[in-house]
Structures are given as C-alpha cells and as structure tokens.
Amino acid sequence: MQRLDEILKMIRPSSEEWKEKAWKRLRSQIRPRGSLGRLEEMAARLAAMRESLDVPLRKKVIFTMAGDHGVAEEGVSAYPQEVTAQMVFSFVQGWASINVLADHAGIDVRVVDMGIASDLPEDWNVIRRKVRKGTANFTKGPAMTREEAEQGLVAGAELVLDAVQKEGYQLIGTGDMGIANTTPSTAILAVFGGYDVEGITGRGTGIDDEGMQRKIAVIKRGIEVNRPDPSDPVDVLAKVGGCEIAGLAGAVLGAAAARVPIVCDGFIATAGALVAVHLVPAAKDYLFISHRSQEKGHALMADLIGLKPVLDLDMRLGEGTGSALAMPIVEASARVLMDIKTFEEAGVTDTGH
C-alpha cells in the first residue's frame, strides 16, 4: 500500500495551455460560437486534464463504495443498518438502480466493501477493502482513527490508479451505499462550510419531523464532541466521516493523480470530493459533479468546490446512479472537441459569429 503523502504529491493542476488549445478549436468549429454551451466547457477541461485534444472515454467504470455508520444507532435513518449489506447483495446480483442505469450506458460497476458492519459471504463479487466493521458512533468520540481515515483514502486512490494504469479505464465514476451516511456527510459540510446544522440538514431516506430534529441534534453533538479541524481534512474525515466517504475521497485523489476525469454522484460522493479538494485543491481540475441532488446541502457542497453539477433531475438515490447518467454526457463533450470539423477543415465560410 502506498502512503497518502506519495499519492498527494502525484497531483498537479491541469494544463491551462491545453485548455486554451481546446477553446481555440471549439471556437473555430462549423457552428455558431458557444452554441454547445457547457459541453464546450467540459471539453476544454478534458483537454487540460489529458494534455490532448483527443480524449477517448469509451472505457468507463463506477466504484460504488459501501460502509456502515455507528451513528445509525441514534435513529437518524428510516432504514435499519442491515439494509447496507442487503443492498450490496442486490448490486452483486445486478438488480438495483445502479446496475440498470450503468448497463444502459455501457459502464462497468465495481462494488467495494469499505466498512460494512458484517462480514460478506466469500462468493459475493465484491472488492474487499474494509477499514473497520462500521464506524464508531461519533456522538461519543471520533468515527475513526486518523490511521483508519488515511487507510480508506489510500484504498480508494489505489483502486482508481489500478483501474487506469492496469486495466485501461478512461473515465471513472463514484457512488455510495451506507445506511445513515447523510448524517456524516452533513457534518462534513457543516465543518468545511461553517454552516448552521439546521439550515443544511436534509431528510435522507425520508425521516419524519421527529427524526429530523433528532438528526440535527446528533450532528451538532458529533461536531461539539469531536471538534474537527477544518484546516485538517483528514481530521474532519476521521472524526465525523465514514469509511465509504474516505474511499470516495480517495477515488478523487487517485483520478487526479492519474490525470483522468472522475464523475462523482450525489450528496455522499460529493462529501468525499469535498474532503479530496480540501486536501489538494488541484484535485478539482479532474472532477465533475454528476447531478444536483435533492438532498438539502448538496448545492452548497458544489458551491464550496466551485463546480456546477452536470444534471438536475430531482434525484436523491446515490449508488452511483447520477454518475451513470452524467458520464455519457462527459464522454459526448470529448467527441464534440475532436469530431466536429473546423471551418477550415470542412471548407465552410466562417462569418465570425
């Protein structure tokens, strides 16, 4: 296993020179200037990442990271903790939403046990990177040790680095599964953004008003008990995060280190991305946020990172479903860059508009 600092040192900003080369080509294509809107912006970002105008993104994979949370015992979710493993079984069987949407888009799905509370059967097709059997209840102390948080970050990064360097994947997506994981994700947002917990807490899986007040109190207590340091992202992750959130953050770091684009899913995956970007701001250069989640704080997460989500479909499922829908759009932007001819190449008169 690599050390975290070695992975962080691999990350550098994308190329402004190649971004400008991309914009020059986009402005000279046989269509009105700016007529493909945000697809053009995505295309220029891809060129900057890969330092090329030709960015093939045909081979795609989503890593769905799963983990359990000790804070679930506080009654912050509408579902019991055993649903995490039960849903992982559905992923393995190909029955779930992520399987259907990824299959439709030609995307492979890898399910990763980052910290499920139970031991999964050996015959389940799951990548096993378990940091611990569920986090501790963060109302009583840190969710993880610092060493466990770093272990999760490295595991997520190495999965992506191996997928790119050994298997030739060109576009990475992330997703999550973990009962109660909107609670640590909201805590992470509150710490990094300095927000009042009441204003950013959503209903997650659909808790009632009583459950909502309980969830707000739990998040406040977790922050008060642990006092996570927003200037130290690993400290925040360890104290109020989760094993799968560590893996999701690590995946962003791994993609940035490999200089490939990564599309994160909704609220939980973006919490991981938020940790990654606070660790290395240049990691943002390789990141796309797939969609704007219905979860209350997600738009604030995107604002903190400084990226606009690709889609807005009123979704709030997780699993990587948003990534599965947005990844083909990111791929389409790469095709726009190279496959649309310029006025000069096509022999079309350029009016300059």
Report, as residue numbers or ranges, the catalytic residues. Answer: 319
Structure tokens at 269: 């995956």
- Residue 185 CA, distance from chain mean position: 12
With contact defined as beta carbons under 8 Å apart, do 170 and 260 qualify?
yes
Contacts of 344 (CB under 8 A, 6+ apart): 28, 350
What is the full DSSP assignment across 51-114?
A: TSS-----SEEEEEEEE--GGGGGS-SSS-TTHHHHHHHHHHHT-SHHHHHHHHHT-EEEEEEE
Could you give the C-alpha distances from 79 to 70, 178, 186, 263, in angstroms and in order?
14, 10, 18, 27
How far, in Å, CA of 112 to CA of 178, rounded? 12
Q: Name residue 111's beta-bridge partners.
A: 64
User: Which tokens is 66 given?
Assistant: 């799963």
Closest CA to 184 of 289, 297, 105: 297
CA–CA dist 269, 321 (Å, integer): 11
C-alpha angle with apex 155: 154 to 156, nearest 5 degrees?
90
Q: Which residues are CB-neighbours of 345 under 8 A, at least 6 positions away?
A: none
**Lookup: tokens for 202:** 């959503």
CA atoms of 272 and 274, how far apart (whole Å): 5
